């Protein structure tokens, strides 16, 4: 089974495990996110895409589905300024992970190591209840393109 089909099959299984019906709209949303899983995408662009595919679909339905996917661990969201962005969860075997995001092309690379031990050592007596670490820079492909 090609990787994309396998990932879609896994995503549909996660939907069912979270008691979410498999609809053609949800399947289309998952397919779109899977096809673009190496970048975060503005939620408004995802909304535009879905409304082109399903003209009668409301903004609320699209945003609710994205939120349900996030609650099920299938998508990751980030907020930059006042703009929400979303991408497909890149690694179900490592739900806790961080990212390097290229500032030129927007490509997202997963980081498996977590530096929380360093921070916890600097905060004796504090209770950390959550964190999100993202590194920004220029990926090797963009660095190469800049030297040409």
State pLDDT tens for residues 73-98.
Answer: 888 888 777 788 888 875 555 556 77
Lookup: tokens for 42: 């503005």
Binding residue per annotation — 90? Answer: no
Query: 113 pLDDT exceeds 70?
Result: yes
Was 96 annotated as part of a binding site? yes
102 is in an annotated binding site: yes
Per-residue pLDDT tens digits for 49-69: 999 999 999 999 999 999 999
**Mean pLDDT on 89-116:** 74
- Write down the pLDDT at residue 55: 94
Q: Is 114 annotated as a binding residue?
A: no
Contact call for residues 15 and 33 (beta carbons, < 8 A): no
- Range 106-122 average pLDDT: 81
Q: Which domains does the chain have, with CATH numbers?
A: 3-88 (1.10.10.10), 98-147 (3.30.1490.190)
Query: In terms of Cα–Cα distance, which of 106, 102, 107, 111 is closest to 132?
Result: 111
């Amino acid at each position: 089974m090609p990787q994309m089909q396998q990932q879609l099959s896994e995503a549909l299984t996660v939907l069912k495990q979270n008691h979410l019906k498999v609809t053609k709209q949800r399947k289309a949303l998952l397919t779109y996110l899977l096809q673009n899983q190496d970048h975060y995408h503005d939620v408004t662009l995802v909304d535009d895409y879905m409304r082109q595919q399903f003209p009668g679909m409301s903004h609320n339905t699209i945003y609710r589905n994205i939120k349900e996917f996030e609650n099920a661990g299938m998508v990751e969201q980030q907020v930059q300024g006042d703009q929400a962005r979303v991408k497909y969860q890149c690694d179900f075997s490592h739900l806790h992970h961080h990212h390097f995001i290229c500032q030129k092309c927007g490509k997202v690379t997963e980081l498996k190591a977590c530096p929380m031990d360093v921070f916890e050592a600097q905060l004796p007596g504090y209770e950390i209840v959550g964190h999100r670490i993202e590194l920004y820079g220029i990926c090797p492909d963009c660095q190469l393109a800049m030297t040409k």
